[in-house]
Amino acid sequence: MKIKNVKLARAIWLFDLQDLNPSGRDIAEDLFEWIKTAYSFPIAPDLRAMLVARTVQPVAENQAPANGAVFERGHFQTRADVFIEITKLTIFNDGIVVDTPSSTEDGDRFAQDLLETASREFGLTYDGETVRRRMYLSELMLRSDISFDLINPKLAAFANRISEAFSEEPKPRFEFGGLQFWSEPNDTGKHKLFTLERQASKALAERRYYSQAPLQTDVHFKLLQELERIVMS
């Protein structure tokens, strides 16, 4: 199994934004301008328009951020001579969401650097207890020789039955498309999903797959490798 690309690596840090500025100093405009400059974001939010529209909303678990203060296409140095793109930084009243095409580990590094450096620059209150929870979403595009038919040979036979049900010629070929693992729903009725499925629009022979999990990128990939070993054995 090989990662072809990281479609999304999302790191979500939950904390009360007001805890960073308990004295209530008016620094938002300067802070936003600093973030834009420090991390080379060509796209930054219009703070005044946001305050009028009052669009800053709480983070929804495992949901793409629809509202909030959005910075796009920034850059962050993770180590010597290595820069990653920060696809999107979204600031909410109850935390921040960092999207990268790299890894959730790099997203964590960026979030840590952002909070620590901003605290020094603006005299904010940030320490190890500020962040109350971290969540993740990993989406990977993969190449794998995994064969779902090995789980149960009857699945391959059933896929043939589907093909035979078509009157058109040549009959379309079907194969087992993927696996999903669901958690129990949370208080809002949402499930955590771990999925591995064929990548849409790709020929079956290409062995291309898409997978998502509410996990850190490296943990996600290690579980996929384990799943591949289980199925192929």
What is the tens place of the pLDDT at every residue in 120-144?
999 999 988 999 999 999 999 999 9
Q: What is the pLDDT of residue 51?
A: 63
Same-domain pairing of 146 and 111:
no
Report yes or no on 157 lying in a domain: yes
- Predicted confidence band of residue 25 (pLDDT cuts 50, 70, 90): confident
Please indicate, yes or no, if residue 125 is contained in any of the structural domains. Answer: yes
Domain boundary among 121, 138, 155: 138
Residue 62 has pLDDT above 60, yes or no: no
Structural domain boundaries enclosing 130:
9-138
Instruction: Assess if residue 4 is contained within a domain.
Output: no
- The reply to whether 3 falls in a domain is no
Q: How many helices (H) and strands (E) does the chain have?
A: 5, 8
Q: Are 131 and 97 in contact (CB under 8 A)?
A: no
Is 51 part of a structural domain of the chain?
A: yes
Report whether pLDDT(227) > 80: yes
Q: Is residue 66 over pLDDT 90? A: no
Element (H, E) at 211: strand 208-213
Strand extents, DSSP E, 15-132: 69-79, 82-92, 95-100
Please state the domain count of the chain. Answer: 2
Burial of 34-68, coded b for 16+ CB within 10 Å and e otherwise, reads ebbeebebeebbeeeebeeeeebeebeebeebebb
pLDDT band at 65 (very low <50, low <70, confident <90, very high): very low
Same domain? 144 vs 134: no
- With respect to residue 1, please indicate whether it lies within any of the assigned structural domains: no
**CA dist 155 → 5, 67, 170, 172, 196 (Å):** 29, 43, 21, 16, 16
118 and 175 fall within a common domain: no
